[in-house]
A and B are shown apart, each in its own frame.
Chain A
Amino acid sequence: MERFIDTFFNAAVLARYAPAILEGALVTVLLSLLIVMAGTVLGSGLACLRAYRIKPVSILIVVFADMLRALPPLVLILLAFFGLPNVGIVLSSFMVLFVVLTLVLAAFAEEIVWAGITATPKGQWEAARSTGLSFTRALIFVVLPQAVRMVIPPLTNRAIAITKMTALGMVIGVPDILGQATTAQSFSANASPLTLAAIAYVILFLPFVIASRWLEARFAPPAA
């Protein structure tokens, strides 16, 4: 028992590395916010673009969405971080993580929002167009708001799943929560920093998980 506490809850180690974990938490929060904002905006934008049903454009979007949903994000992160410099593009580890996860979230968000757009009744388009709204205005002011509302629960779940993947940044040296924790763990030869990391993740993500539950209830289709 003593050994267990010393391994996971060593007070001295905890105190020593808490500030580093806190710094890591700030990086994780910043990254997560940026990814969620950029990913959902980009994904919704692509879904809207697809609504115009211009064949070549739609095909490109579908290929993009399917590729990014099929590939493990870690593969993309490693490819981007170790591959891109060879073609002259040098990005910081933070940038690589941001770009890759934004694209992955955008791919999922595109599919989710697209599902919402196609699920919006045809009559909504017709009502909007018959009052003189152009296709684009009908999309922006009538269809998209309904589509997004409809898909807020799956979108929230996906956003949580992908922001948690910021932990993958560890492998390319992003100083996020897990990055700081693993560094601390190797210096201290003790697992307590990882305990701190786990606590930090719970504190950061649990509110969103709870919020997603609430959103799911709030935006659930009305019971028949």
Chain B
Amino acid sequence: MSKAIIRLAVPDMILSPAPQGSAATATFRVEALHKSFGADPVLKGINLSVQRSEMVFVLGPSGSGKSTMLRCCNRLEEPDAGEIFIQGDRLTGPGVDLNKMRQRIGIVFQSFNLYPHLSALGNVTLALRKVQKMPREKARVAGLEALDRVGLSDRARHYPSQLSGGQQQRVAIARALALNPTVMLFDEPTSALDPELVGDVLDVMRDMKRQGMTMVVVSHEMKFARDAADRVIFMDDGLIVEEGPPEQIFGDPQHNRTRAFLSRFHE
């Protein structure tokens, strides 16, 4: 009930969101996130607020905890401490309907993880059918619409093995989009792709941004970050070292570690 009211009260599309809006208005918020694997602390207190329609880019060396942070965001990995809020609803703590909450957070993996035994459309509609209990025909229409958004409605009947890597990743994006998530998380979505296929996936992401999707993107596509990101975050050793608009992070990084990292990516 109250959720619907909040949705109506927010302007439908904010094309240029405030880069560093306050935590209170955040669409997605992570507070003091901690995670260890055994005695190994991987996240040491991550705070992150993402505004509606904002695209936040996360950079950082391998092993700095970027994937773990994203996976904690929908509790694929259980955080040791910290809180996660989505549109003010708490995702952490006991008594949360995790399966319902997860439908509001789309995640796209480096390795696509499409279901090989289902067609592209089957991949996209599975959760619609089995979780949202949508009737077959309605799910088909919604699934085709999601595939259309990634430019693949003509591949609906194809199986993952019949699709290129770039197409598979776009189907994976459609699978998340079909659930109408509030925020989308991307974990190196183009790292497993042949260079010539990267562009298609980035175009889809650019399109999503244009349509007002809220996104957190872990990626090494620096040029894309420069063009498309509203804010760039540099992570190292389980902490956010530095954040700011892309011009600042790329043009005038304040921390040595950020500088050292970026110097390895001179295009």
Contact = CB atoms under 8 A, between A and B. Distances in A.
30 contacts: A121-B113, A123-B109, A124-B113, A124-B115, A126-B71, A127-B114, A127-B115, A127-B172, A128-B126, A129-B76, A130-B105, A130-B176, A131-B126, A131-B176, A131-B179, A132-B99, A132-B100, A132-B102, A132-B103, A132-B127, A133-B99, A133-B127, A133-B130, A137-B130, A141-B126, A141-B130, A142-B115, A142-B126, A146-B116, A222-B161
A129 B99 CA distance: 7
Contacts of B103: 131-132
Nearest to B179: A131
A189 B109 CA distance: 72
A-B pairs with lowest CB-CB distance, top 7: A127-B113, A131-B127, A123-B113, A132-B103, A132-B131, A132-B99, A132-B102
A157 interface: no
B175 interface: yes
Given A123-B109, A123-B111, A123-B113, A130 B102 contact: yes
B61 to A, nearest CB: 23
Interface in A113-151: 121, 123-124, 126-134, 137, 141-142, 145-146, 149
A141 B115 CA distance: 10
B142 to A, nearest CB: 13
Nearest to B71: A126
Contacts of A141: 126, 130
Interface string A175-198: 000000000000000000000000
Interface residues of B, number: 26
Contacts of A222: 161
Interface residues of A, number: 19
Interface of A: 121, 123-124, 126-134, 137, 141-142, 145-146, 149, 222
Given A131-B126, A142-B115, 11 more contacts: A124-B113, A126-B113, A129-B76, A130-B74, A130-B105, A130-B106, A131-B131, A132-B100, A132-B131, A134-B99, A142-B126
B3 interface: no
Contacts, number: 60
Nearest to B176: A131
Contacts of B111: 123
B107 interface: yes
B117 interface: yes
Contact of A130 (B107, B116, B130): B107
Interface in B122-150: 126-127, 130-131
A130 B179 CA distance: 11
Contacts of B115: 124, 127-128, 142, 146
Interface in B88-115: 99-100, 102-103, 105-107, 109, 111, 113-115
A123 B117 CA distance: 14
B19 to A, nearest CB: 27
Contacts of B131: 131-133, 137
Contacts of B100: 132
Contacts of B105: 130
B179 A132 contact: yes
A212 to B, nearest CB: 21
A129 B131 CA distance: 11
A133 B126 contact: yes
Contacts of A149: 117
Contact of B102 (A121, A124, A129): A129
